[in-house]
């Protein structure tokens, strides 16, 4: 037992004696390094508490929010000053009061409906303000030109008409024939159109008396008889004219306005009728009279584009208000 104890004690001593002795470092060379490490650790710690609810420096609020909100407010102010979209204009209201149709217009939705009864028929006319938003720029140029461009064209034409020494000397006085055969027109001899006698000049670019053409508005006319199917017509209204594009017949009325994928698939395989333009001319005229008798007439064709324009403006103002409220929240 004693021999084992002596062996156990001697082993560490022998190992320690076998390890070469390293020179001892003085206390003065150790403490400065420890102090330097501790100071560095304290400097690297964050200045805010670990569980603080304050925002970090890199989590700043949006820099464009205020500018965007001001721009939206400016746009709202301009649109409200331009026209009143809160109340229905008298011309639109008069049509609804004198018409047999009932208006179904839900705020925030693009589609609008007009419904009425005609004998045993249920008539529903639907249209959308998306027709106005989906107009191409070419269509916009065709149905409404920029007045500023017309003024510039008129000014260019007036400048051309007063060429000095040229052949184009319309509207000049005191004209003296030159050697070359043309009339030399002095600047003081040119008379402005506004200074001429009334009725002696007509500006072709003025467009006075001409009504600005309206944009084409599409509507879907659905005429349904209980137990007898439905007749659907795709119609375009423009400048007071009602133009039928297609006429469909459905034995099941729900197929006319297929709202599910199953109904839409069932409708694709049906023969619904030939193109309207391929029909006999007398048959086309009778179908137009058929619609006119049910209230799809000139009055509706004039009312429809104006109402679409008014509703789109109202929905646009609502959209601006909603976006601004979201940005300001």
What DSSP line would sit under 293-329, residue for residue? HTT-SHHHHHHHHHHHHHHHHHHHHHHHHHHHHHHH-
Q: What's the pTM?
A: 0.60
- Burial category of 302 from C-beta neighbours within 10 Å (exposed 0-12, middle 13-18, buried 19 and up): middle
Distance, CA of 273 to chain centre? 35
Distance CA 230, CA 236 (A): 20
Those residues whose C-beta lies under 8 Å from the C-beta of residue 96, and which sit 6 or more positions away, are: 88, 103
- Residue 278 DSSP label: G
What is the predicted pLDDT for the residue at 76? 92
The tokens describing 185, both together, are 């027109």
CA pair distance 263, 252, nearest whole angstrom: 10
Residue with tokens 């789109």: 312
Report how far residue 201's alpha carbon sits from residue 229's, in angstroms, rounded to the nearest whole number. 61
> What tens-digit pLDDT sequence spans the chain (329 residues)?
444 444 445 544 444 445 455 455 444 444 555 555 555 555 555 555 555 555 555 455 678 898 999 999 999 999 888 877 778 899 999 999 999 999 999 999 999 999 999 999 999 999 999 878 776 544 555 555 554 555 555 555 555 554 444 444 444 444 444 444 444 444 444 455 445 444 444 444 444 445 566 788 999 999 999 989 999 999 999 889 999 999 999 988 888 877 788 888 888 888 888 889 999 999 999 999 999 999 999 999 999 999 999 999 999 999 999 999 999 98
What's the maximum distance between 2 C-alpha atoms anywhere in the chain?
150
The reported pLDDT for the residue numbered 219 is: 95
Closest alpha carbon to 180 in 189, 162, 167: 167
Shortest CA distance to 109 belongs to which of 126, 96, 128? Answer: 128
Q: How far apart are CA 65 and CA 328, in angstroms?
A: 7
Predicted pLDDT of residue 135 = 66
- 288 C-beta neighbours (distance < 10 Å), count: 19
CA within 13 Å, CB half, 111: 6
- Nearest C-alpha neighbor of 276 from the set 235, 304, 223: 235
Q: Beta-strand (E) ranges in 18-132?
A: 102-104, 111-118, 121-128
Task: Determine the straight-line distance between the first and last CA of the chain, rounded to whole angstroms.
Answer: 86
Q: Which helix (H) or strand (E) holds 28?
A: helix 27-44
Q: In this structure, what token pair is assigned to residue 16?
A: 């320690």
pLDDT at 205: 47
- Kindly calculate the radius of gyration of the chain based on its CA atoms and give it in whole angstroms: 42
- Only one residue has tokens 């208006």, namely 103
In Å, how far are 32, 70, 162, 194 from 173, measured between CA atoms? 108, 57, 11, 15
Q: What is the pLDDT of residue 182?
A: 46
CA distance 94 to 142: 29
Hey, how many other C-beta atoms are within 10 angstroms of the C-beta on 254?
Answer: 14
């Amino acid at each position: 037992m004693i021999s084992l104890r002596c062996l156990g004690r001697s082993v560490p001593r022998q190992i320690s004696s076998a390890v070469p002795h390293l020179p001892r470092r003085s206390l003065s060379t150790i403490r400065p390094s420890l102090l330097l490490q501790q100071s560095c650790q304290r400097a690297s710690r964050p200045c805010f508490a670990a569980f603080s609810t304050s925002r970090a420096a890199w989590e700043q609020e949006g820099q464009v929010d205020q500018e965007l909100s001001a721009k939206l407010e400016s746009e709202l102010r301009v649109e409200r000053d331009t026209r009143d979209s809160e109340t229905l204009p008298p011309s639109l209201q008069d049509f609804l009061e004198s018409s047999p149709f009932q208006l179904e217009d839900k705020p925030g939705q693009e589609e609008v409906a007009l419904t009425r009864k005609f004998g045993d028929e249920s008539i529903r006319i639907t249209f959308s303000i998306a027709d106005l938003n989906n107009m191409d720029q070419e269509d916009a140029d065709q149905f409404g030109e920029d007045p500023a461009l017309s003024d510039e064209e008129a000014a260019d034409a007036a400048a051309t008409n007063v060429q000095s020494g040229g052949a184009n000397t319309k509207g000049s006085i005191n004209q003296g024939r030159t050697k070359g055969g043309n009339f030399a027109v002095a600047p003081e001899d040119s008379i402005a159109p506004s200074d001429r006698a009334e009725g002696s000049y007509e500006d072709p670019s003025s467009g006075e008396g001409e009504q600005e053409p309206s944009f084409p508005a599409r509507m879907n006319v659905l005429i349904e008889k209980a137990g007898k199917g439905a007749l659907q017509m795709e119609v375009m209204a423009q400048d007071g004219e009602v133009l039928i594009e297609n006429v469909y017949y459905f034995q099941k009325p729900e197929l006319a306005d297929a709202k599910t994928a199953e109904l839409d698939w069932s409708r694709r395989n049906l023969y619904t009728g030939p193109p309207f333009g391929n029909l006999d001319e007398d048959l086309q005229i009778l179908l137009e009279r058929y619609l006119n008798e049910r209230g799809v007439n000139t009055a509706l064709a004039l009312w429809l584009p104006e109402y679409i324009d008014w509703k789109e403006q109202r929905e646009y103002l609502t959209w601006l208000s909603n976006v601004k409220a979201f940005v300001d929240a």
